Amino acid sequence: MKTILTGIRVNEEPTIGNFIGAYKTMINLANEHAADAHINMFIPDLHSFTTPIDHSKLYAQVIKGVKYYIAAGLDVNNPNVHIYRQSHVPAHSELAIILNCFTYYGEAKRMTQFKDKSEENPEAITVGLFDYPILMAADILLYDAEIIPLGEDQFQHLELTRDIAIRMNNKFERELFTVPASEKEQVAFMNLEKGLRIRSLTDPSKKMSKSSKDEKSKISLSDDPAAAAKKIMSATTDSLGKINFDMINQPGISNLMTIEAMLSGRDIHDVIQQYAGLERYGDLKQEVARTVSTFLEEFQQRVAQISDEDVERVLEQGEAYANKVANAKLAEVQRAVGLIR
Ligand code: TYM
């Protein structure tokens, strides 16, 4: 059986960008393939403090992260759906240490996320931040996962994961790891034309980022729905005066059309057709603002209905499964590298 796997960090409140790029694509695939694939949706909690955080809030954030997976529509009663915390499956860290020695410094240094995050926080560039994509490779390779729903910004890390898997399979002359599908295959599997990248509402040349200090640039999943609607109404667009779906010349307005399509469940081509050539940006903004606030209201209601006991039960089952699969793979790797017989 194929494994479809993804993780979403909760060191900061996830945004509608995360929701569209990862939650929604993952859950669409989960619902489509729950009978014929393992669906692993985990919380990468060890990845939470690659940049500084308030540690007193982390545990509660992780529990909330699990509630978000369930509220987003993951069917936890399906036995093929597994939710777990990375830190509760120690094989992730152990494999990461081994993979470190099969990853070149030069290739890790090329990761653009490392460069961007180092620039954001020059006083706190840790080895953990540098090593983050290799832990991510361990998260994927331990489960022989083939399909990894991700936003566009994470595809470089997927490519690194593929390179490490291919390198180790060649070195040890066996199929130690399943090589995850390429970016092109992933995007086709998700029924998309390309990877998704929701833009900042104040500077549409950049992605919407949960770590941005500019509150107006992002909509978090816990934002007050009315306040979120206001952020959409004041989103930066352009002065061309005519609506066109054109990510290069009109990224702000095109971003709003993408948000509308993804959160309402409409085909993007319908949204484009509805607004193409029109001059009143305000009409589009109003519709998007309504869609976003309704989405947040309903999502937050679902989150509130999930109890901590529900989360504990789901994690207990998910972590038992994950430890079994991950430990078996770790033992195979330990045997290949000569640590055990
Ligand atoms: P993270 O937590 O930064 O982001 C979670 C997911 O959201 C996507 N995303 C976006 N998609 C569209 N538009 C945006 N503006 C946007 N911003 C973020 C990301 O691409 C990602 O899919 N390293 C990962 C977490 C991780 C992981 C893994 C994922 C750790 N191990 C193994 C998959 C498999 C991360 O930091 O994502």
Eight-class DSSP state of 23: I
Q: Domains for the chain: give ranges and CATH numbers.
A: 2-191+308-337 (3.40.50.620), 215-303 (1.10.240.10)
Span from the CA of 6 to the centroid of ligand 1 (angstroms): 8
Mean pLDDT, rounded, of the chain: 96
Average pLDDT of span 201-220:
96
Alpha carbon of 88 to ligand 1 centroid (Å): 20
Provide the percentage of residues in the chain whose pLDDT is more than 90.
94
Q: Map tokens 């959160």 to a residue.
A: 263
Residue among 136, 154, 161 whose CB has most ligand 1 atoms within 8 A, to mutate: 154
Measured from CB, residues less than 6 Å from any atom of ligand 1 are 5-9, 17-18, 20-22, 44, 47, 136, 139-140, 148, 150-151, 153-154, 196-198, 207-208
What is the rounded CA–CA span in Å between residue 235 and residue 156?
29
How far, in Å, from the CA of 55 to the mean position of ligand 1?
21
Arithmetic mean of pLDDT, 192-220: 94
Burial grade of 304 (CB within 10 A; 0-12, 13-18, 19 or more): exposed
In this structure, what token pair is assigned to residue 213?
Answer: 């200090």
- Segment 103-111 shows an average pLDDT of 96
* CA 294 to chain CA mean position, Å: 22
Catalytic residue among 24, 64, 67, 207: 207
| Spatial strand order in the sheet of 81-85 | 2-7, 37-43, 81-85
pLDDT in tens, 222-261: 999 999 999 999 999 999 999 999 999 999 999 999 999 9
pLDDT classification of 195: cutoffs 50, 70, 90:
confident
Backbone angles phi, psi at 36, to 5 degrees: -125, 15
Looking at ligand 1, which atom is closest to the CA of residue 136? 31
286, 38 in Cβ contact below 8 A? Answer: no
Q: Residue whose CA is closest, atom 14 of ligand 1?
A: 17
Residue 174 CA to ligand 1 centre (angstroms): 30
- DSSP string across 29-89: HHHHHTTTEEEEEEE-GGGGGSS---GGGHHHHHHHHHHHHHHTT--TTSTTEEEEEGGGS
Please state the φ and ψ torsions of residue 43, each to the nearest 5 degrees: -105, 115
Query: Which atom of ligand 1 lies closest to the CA of 157?
Result: 23
Q: Examine the pLDDT at 124 and tell me if it is beyond 90.
A: no
pLDDT at 194 (0 to 100): 86
Q: Is the pLDDT of residue 266 over 90?
A: yes
Say how many Å lie between the CA of residue 71 and the centre of ligand 1.
18
Q: In the Cβ-directed half-sphere of 264, how many Cα atoms lie within 13 Å?
A: 18
Which pTM was predicted?
A: 0.96
**DSSP category for residue 180:** P
Q: Give the model confidence (pLDDT) of 34-77 as tens digits.
A: 899 999 999 999 999 998 999 999 999 999 999 999 999 999 99
Is 117 assigned a catalytic role? Answer: yes
